[in-house]
Amino acid sequence: MRASRLIADRYEPIKLIDQGGMGDVFQARDIETDEIVAIKFLKPDVVADDPALVQRFEREAEALRQLHHPNIVSIYATGEQDEVHYIVMEFVSGGSLAQLLQREAQLPIERVLMIALDLADALTRAHRLKIIHRDLKPANVLLANDGSPRLTDFGVAYLDDRNTRMTQTGSLLGTLAYLSPEVCSGGGYDERSDIWAFGILLFEMLTGERPFLETTPAGTITAIMTKPTPDLSQMRADIPMELANLVYWMLAKNPLDRVPSVRTVGAELETILRRLSERDAISSEVARAVPPEDESRFATTPIRPANLDQLGLGQSPLDSQVQAALNQTNQTPTAGGSSLPQITSLSSSLSDVLPRRRVTAPRVVISYRRDDTGAITSQIFDQLASVLGASNVVRDADRIADRTVTRLVIASDIVESYDAMVVVIGPQWAAGGALNNPKFHVRMEIEAALRRPDMVIIPLLVDGATLPRPEDLPASLQPLLAHNAFQLNSHAAVAPQVARLINQIKRTLNVRRVLWRRPVVLAVIGVLIALLIFSGALMMSGSQLPLAANAPGICGEVEPAEPDHYMVLVADLEPIQTEARDVARFIADDLRQNLEVAAPFSRINIRRCPAVLTSTADAQAAAEAVGASVIVWGNYTEALIDVAVEIGTLAGFPNNEMPRVLLEETVNVRIRLQDERQQSVAVPALSALTALQNADGDGYEVARSVTVLAALTGDPGEIVGSSIAAQVVRALWFFVNDTETTIAHLDDAIQVRAGNPILFAFRGAAYHRVGRLDEARRDLQTAQRLGESMGLRRWALPHFLLGNDALFRDDLDTALAEYSRVIELRPDDWFGWNYRGAIHYLRGEFEPANADLLRAIELGPDTNFPFPFATLIALREGRISDARALMNTVITEFPDPSFSNRMIDALYGPDTPLIWGLVFSAFTNQLLGQHDQVIADTTALINVNASLADAHLMQGVAYCNLRDYAAAEIAYTAGLEIEPDYLLIAALRGETRRARGDLVNALADAARVTADDATTAELIALVEDPNASCENFFDLDSESS
């Protein structure tokens, strides 16, 4: 029909040029003008399945009507003919950018810049009209014959003046690899999500690769949210540093740190082109196409972040400006030229006489209201971090999860860790009454700072704000008015103003240190005189004053580990007959990259000790002094680096009862490196922590560490010797990829020390992973007996593993008994409660299961383990709103929902008969809207355990979302055959039957639900609501229905 009939009596279709899920695109001829056009038709069968797509189609037409721009596909007409909707638009003959990248993976720098410049102009137009594209990718960029781009496919565009949002629960519009972190975590789309996708597009044009693409949807989402942007200079040598820095800025994980607008992106691209032109790095033709700065099409002042190192690589152009301004600044400004009222301090200047910690670089916390001064605070933070160091500046305390935001946490952090607080005050700072709320994060931060009289507190007034009146503040905040304020003009250059602010902070700290010294100066002089006399006497007698190298404090001031984190301390290495080089920096940077950045769930902090240690005794003393669980030290020659990885303090392992000598023979190892830049000690450092967590009986932390180990790559260097510790490191290194080799290394270690229970626990876990169950149980029972013979009364790890062993054998009674023992030994550990709750669930004991799972959640897990089973129990009990709340918690509080799946795979392998991984995977994919994968997961789950009605429930919901209602009905019916009283399944089957037109049986299912005494009000609302479906029933508001 389309190929033979005129459209709107004017457009003659010629040929099909593209097909998509929504519709087809034809090349056509306008018979009135003889112009070639493109016509997009919406498929009738798609409309029949989902009438809402007509609204999306019309929204694309509406967006294109508003966007008159040379780099956006023009629209000529819209309409409906023979019940088929269509849009007539500009025909762009050069194919798409995606097709170009298939032919030419890495585009020339000139072409990348010119395409990006035009796209920035197009998006600037769209954003000015409050239209968000939301699906920016190469396939949606068409190329004209002259190579210029045309932005198209605004079918998922969001018009800001609309009140409707055309998405469904569980679905993510747009192509996954281009989604921003905030969208992946459930947030909304805005200009910054388009900027992120634009950054991915730039990265792909430059390198031919998408930076965060993984092999699975869950892996891609995890990479987007956690992995750093790859180093562009390592992927392509000719990328200008300015362009690489812009890409890193566009791909900042935190949208507040991202480029503030597409207009700024365009201005930066023009600046880069001008600089390349000045260096004759581009052709004269391209150079002529770039307008002079005063004729820019992006008339704005570019705002670069002050520390691009935090976003990616390279140095920020503003770093030198800030430092230069600091060097030129000699006196504190008088509040920007205006006079501020001076309020007499109510504390009688106690801060002038109190002692302070030794301060080399001030540590500054920024307190602010995001709705008041969010944008300018981002610039202030970047400037402070670029000068003082990123680790010395902190903000966004309100982003901590609600359950951990307490006065104690915030107060402790500020009081113990920071020297100064900058309180950013804008015009709305005291508005709305928020400061009257004792739990408001700004109030808690300032109250904590005011409780420490020696802390520098500076109210920073921006955008013409003034200090509030005392009556506008609660009594606890009124002392803030006694502190001298500093004014900042956000419309002037920020860098020199922040430089003056830093000088004010430093001067105040220095003055206080001098005032502190006055009362004790005579005592200090006396001590010095005594030391001089004593030293002179030693020199006269031919003796030397010994250096207390192993005294606590040898490392100086080391930043403490975060609460509930393990510290790995890296000391400076000793040069042996070679020139000194910073070997320790490369070792520490590698550890930080592998154990912190690439594994943000690890709870490991890497810290530096700026001192050389030459013995195990020195290393242990240094670690004890700063609270390090593991310490790395050693020496190097020109050709080799000898590194010791050893136990530090055991304070972080409160349940450990094993003697230190046994732990040292299991942990302390020597590693030999040839190149500190290419080789890593991450494996031995993590192996040390894993062994200590084993001794502590902490099953979850052992599992977490094994999961981190599974992700480690690279060259671990030479593990020196055949000691027990060396065999343990080799064993754990091969645990995931070659478990039989792991067993062989543990065999060797056990031959040397058959009385070490840690070795048998590790080997038992390895036997489990390869399905050698009898040998696994034998080793775990041996570990338990050895522990009892050593008097280990609190060692819970054998019970964890024996509980899993019983699950492998489908012995739920033994599994329940073992996990009950775990709870007796570790009553405050959520992991034991979680597992016992899951076992109750498998036994069909839903009431105790729910009680245990809720207890696990109450204890504050940092992964989503308890939530899938707790959600399924809520569903079977008809508590739809409770289930929805649990799922929302997973999405909002656990940004890596696939972590539990990876942990199961790391511990037991992808082919484990345990159902946990399949349940977690099906649950996670259901939340992500990956319904095909849910079907695969539940099919595998049913093959392992066909008696789980919830597996059929999840499978039915997945089929229903895919509109395969026949398959959904079969899945629901199978679930009801297992559990006839599972009312939610009956309700959902009725909805599916209604969708199939089987109204008689649909009404029968509805009557079955409403007539049952166990039916909840939410279930009744579900069956009575004509708009309820498998796609939205989690969103039903039980109160309103």
Determine the residue type at 327. N
348 and 280 together in one domain: no
Q: Give residue-wise pLDDT tens across range 247-290.
A: 999 998 888 888 888 998 998 898 888 888 877 666 766 666 66
Q: Residue 812 falls within a domain, yes or no?
A: no
> Which residue in the list 118, 135, 413, 950 is annotated as catalytic?
135
Same domain, 349 and 458: yes
pLDDT of residue 305: 44
Residue 768 is assigned to a structural domain of this protein: yes
Together in a domain, 612 and 513: no
Catalytic, 905? Answer: no
Check whether residue 577 and residue 458 sit in a common domain.
no
Query: Which among 103-117, 208-222, 327-341 has the top mean pLDDT?
Result: 103-117
Helices and strands (H, E) in the chain, number of each type: 41, 21
Is the pLDDT at 34 greater than 60? The verdict is: yes
List, for residues 522-546, the tens digit of each pLDDT value.
Answer: 333 343 334 333 344 333 333 332 2
Same domain, 48 and 116: no
Residues 469-474 have a mean pLDDT of 86
Distance CA(94)–CA(98), nearest Å, equals: 11
The region of weakest confidence among 294-303, 482-491, 670-679 is 294-303
**Domain membership flag for residue 673:** yes
Q: Which of 389-403, 653-667, 881-895 has the lowest mean pLDDT?
A: 389-403
Q: Residue type at 463? A: D
Q: What is the pLDDT of residues 584-616, one digit of tens each?
A: 999 999 999 999 888 888 899 999 999 999 888
**pLDDT value at residue 506:** 77
Q: Last residue of some domain: 315, 338, 367?
A: 315
In terms of domains, do 391 and 465 share one?
Answer: yes
State how beta strands 566-572 and 604-612 pair. Answer: parallel
289's enclosing H/E stretch is helix 284-289
Q: Same domain for 631 and 752? A: yes
Helix (H/G/I), strand (E/B), else coil: 218 = helix
Do 585 and 730 fall within a single domain? Answer: yes
Per-position DSSP letters for 252-263, written without gaps between them: -SSGGGS-S-HH
Other CB atoms within a 10 A radius of the CB of residue 67 amount to 21
Average pLDDT, the chain: 80
Task: Give per-residue pLDDT as tens, 448-462.
Answer: 888 776 688 999 999
Q: Is 99 helix (H, G, I), strand (E, B) or coil?
A: helix
SS3 144: coil
The reply to whether 790 falls in a domain is: no
337: its two tokens: 């030229």
- Of 438 and 740, the structure prediction assigns the larger pLDDT to 740
Instruction: Find residue 27's DSSP bridge partners.
Output: 15, 38
pLDDT tens string 70-102? 898 888 888 888 888 888 888 998 889 999 999
Q: What percent of the chain has pLDDT over 90?
A: 39
CATH number at residue 931: 1.25.40.10
CB-CB neighbours of 723 under 10 Å: 18
Q: Cα(564)–Cα(603) distance, rounded to whole angstroms? A: 7
**pLDDT at residue number 726:** 92
Residues in the chain: 1041
* Angle made by CA atoms 779, 782, 788, in degrees to the nearest 5: 145
Asked if 127 and 261 touch (Cβ cutoff 8 Å), the reply is: yes
Residue with tokens 């200079």: 233
What was the pLDDT predicted at 203?
A: 96
The reply to whether 881 falls in a domain is yes
Q: What is residue 19's DSSP assignment?
A: E
Give the mean model confidence (pLDDT) for residues 657-684.
92
Cβ contact 535:545 at 8 Å: yes
pLDDT tens digits for 144-198? 988 899 998 765 444 443 333 333 333 333 368 898 988 877 777 889 999 999 9
What is the CA 256 to chain-centroid distance, rounded?
A: 15
Q: How many CB atoms lie within 10 A of CB 258?
A: 24
Q: Which of 315, 331, 361 is the last residue of a domain?
A: 315
426 and 502, same domain (yes or no): yes
**Cα–Cα distance measured from residue 902 to residue 894, given in angstroms and rounded to the nearest whole number:** 14
143 is a domain residue: yes
Predicted pLDDT of residue 789: 87
Confidence (pLDDT) at 988:
92
Domain boundary among 782, 801, 832: 782
Question: Between these two residues, 549 and 832, which has the higher pLDDT value?
Answer: 832
Residue type, 4: S
Per-residue pLDDT at 330 exceeds 70: no
Contact between 759 and 746 under an 8 Å Cβ cutoff? The reply is yes
pLDDT score at 52: 63
Collapsing DSSP states into helix, strand and coil, what is residue 515?
helix
pLDDT at 897: 57
- How high is the pLDDT of residue 912? 74
> What are the CB-based long-range contacts (under 8 Å, 24+) for 330-337?
332/500, 332/503, 332/504, 332/507, 333/486, 333/487, 333/500, 335/461, 335/485, 335/486, 335/487, 336/487, 336/488, 336/489
The answer to whether residue 472 scores a pLDDT higher than 80 is yes
* Residue in this structure with the two tokens 């500076």, named with its chain if needed: 458
Write the CB contacts of 159 (distance below 8 Å, at least 6 apart in sequence).
Answer: 59, 62, 63, 130, 131
572 and 485 co-located in one domain: no
Q: Are 445 and 429 in contact (CB under 8 A)?
A: no
List of residues 6+ apart from 781 with CB closer than 8 A: 798, 802
Domain residues for the domain of 326 are 320-517
Query: Would you place residue 49 in the very low, low, confident or very high pLDDT band (cuts 50, 70, 90)?
Result: low
CA angle 447, 450, 455 (to 5 degrees): 135
Tokens of 45: 């069968």
Number of folded domains in the chain? 5
**CATH code at 53?**
3.30.200.20
Residue 464 confidence (pLDDT) above 90: no
Same domain, 889 and 940: yes
Output the pLDDT for position 60.
60
Would you state the structure tokens that stand for residue 399, as one six-digit string? Answer: 């982003």
Q: Is residue 574 part of a domain?
A: yes
The DSSP element (H or E) to which 37 belongs, if any, is strand 36-42
What's the burial of 219, exposed, middle or buried (CB within 10 Å: 0-12/13-18/19+)?
middle
Q: What are phi and psi of 394, to 5 degrees?
A: -140, 150
Half-sphere exposure (Cβ direction) of 372: Cα atoms closer than 13 Å: 22
Contact criterion met (CB below 8 Å) for 329 and 470: no
What CATH number does residue 167 fall under? 1.10.510.10
- Three-class SS of residue 13? strand
Specify the pLDDT at position 467. 86
773 CB burial (10 A radius; 0-12, 13-18, 19+) = middle
Q: Crossing angle for the helix pair 916-928 and 866-876, nearest 10 degrees? A: 70
Predicted structure pTM score: 0.51
CB 131, CB 157: distance < 8 Å: yes
**Res. 2 pLDDT band, cuts 50 70 90:** very low
Q: Is 280 domain-assigned? A: yes
pLDDT at 715: 83
Q: Indicate if the pLDDT at residue 799 is higher than 90.
A: yes
Which tokens go with 210? 């998408």
Is residue 513 classed exposed, middle or buried when 0-12, 13-18 and 19+ CB atoms within 10 A define those classes?
middle
Residues 671 and 718 in one domain: yes
- CATH number, position 336: 3.40.50.10140
Q: Would you place residue 57 in the very low, low, confident or very high pLDDT band (cuts 50, 70, 90)?
A: low
Residue 321 — pLDDT band, cuts 50, 70, 90? very low
Question: What distance in Å separates the CA atoms of residue 554 and residue 625, rounded to the nearest whole number?
Answer: 8
